[in-house]
Amino acid sequence: MTATKLELNIRRKGAMRGILTLGSLDPAFEGAEGVSSGSVVLDLRPVEFVEPAGLCGLAALLEFLISRSRLVGVRIPEHNVAAYLERMDFFRIFGHRVETNVDVAALEERRRGNPGTLQELINFHSEDEIPGIINRISEILENRGYLLRERAAICATLSEICANAVEHGRSPFGAYAAVQAYQHIVSGGRGKGEEVLVAIADGGVGVRETLSRNPKYAEFTETDNEALRHALKMGVTGTGEIGRGGGLAVVGQIAVRAGGSLSLRSGSGRVTHYGDRTNSRNVPPFPGTFVRVSLPRKAVDEPTP
């Protein structure tokens, strides 16, 4: 029996060349819809770098595939990517659940110390685990010289999204989170400075279904994109309780104030909020909810307001 091959869309040119982003997993998500049993192989060989969003997306994709197929194979390029995935704890979580071409034991042996700029891929299931995650991120940022005010903004963002993922998710695998502090701007590739990328993925029912529980939002839940746009507004919540539904709105404000962006992806919708704009487009279905936050930190010679 032949295995189903899942392809990626990795850019070959430009600022995003070779980077595994959530978007580059689109063809694989599209292909995964058709997988119902048998074997499946995901080819990561064109990948040169992995960003947190790509890593969380990959984790969600693998969870989806593992639950549906007899055998999941992942072909990993045998250079920096394998070492990075090892540092990110990818093999600890997936090593025994997928087949790879990588000699994990050898990687572990030559494992270098954590450079202190990333939070390994974390799989979590409950709100109780969040303060520990936040504490770790706060330490990473403190070591990178982030001011308390900056750390507070990043951590408040992260905890809010993590809480959403485990609260609304009803996800079979809980949620995955990854964070990396870069010493340069990665999103958009412009300007001097640093950037923190936060990514969280869950495999739950998605934003549209969560909001649909509240009949008040019937007119905003006809498409995934409408639901995502609506979820960014203050006070919009599936439960209808007063005081709920403020988290994502505040996260959006924080990201925009930092000059960054907030992207949400759920079902076949994708919404990105940056500056005073909110863009949406249709994408291949994501089996759950995915959030990516970019929090740039402009170079010191460019004073921020």
Q: Interface with another protein by CB under 8 A: which residues?
A: 127-128, 130-131, 134-135, 138, 148-149, 151-153, 155-157, 159-160, 163, 234-235, 242-244, 246-247, 249-250, 253
**Closest distance of CB 232 from another protein, Å:** 13
3-state secondary structure 249-304: HHHHHHHHHCCCEEEEEEEEEEEEEECCEEEEEEEEEEEEEEEEEEEEEECCCCCC
Task: Please state the closest distance from residue 253 (CB atom) to another protein, in A.
Answer: 8
CB 263 within 8 A of CB 291: yes
Q: How far is Cα 9 from Cα 2, in angstroms, rounded to an integer? A: 22
- Return the DSSP state at 216: G
Q: How far is the CB of 279 from another protein (least distance, A)?
A: 24
Closest to another protein by CB, 128 or 219: 128
- What tokens were used for 241? 């309780």
**In the complex with another protein, which residue's Cβ is closer, 107 or 250?**
250
User: For residues 99 and 127, which CB has a smaller minimum distance to another protein in the complex?
Assistant: 127
Rounded to a whole number of angstroms, the minimum distance from the CB of residue 211 to another protein is 17
Query: Which CB, 101 or 126, lies closer to another protein?
Result: 126
Which is nearer to another protein, 230 or 270 (by Cβ)? 230
Q: How far apart, in whole angstroms, are the C-alpha atoms of residue 259 and residue 175?
A: 27
Nearer to another protein, 61 or 249 (CB): 249
Amino acid at 157: T
Question: Which runs of E-coded beta strand occur in the chain?
Answer: 4-6, 19-20, 39-43, 49-50, 71-75, 99-100, 118-124, 175-182, 193-202, 261-274, 277-298
Tokens representing 47 are 């990948």
Least distance CB 156 / another protein (angstroms): 4
In the complex, minimum distance from the CB of residue 172 to another protein, in angstroms, rounded to a whole number = 22
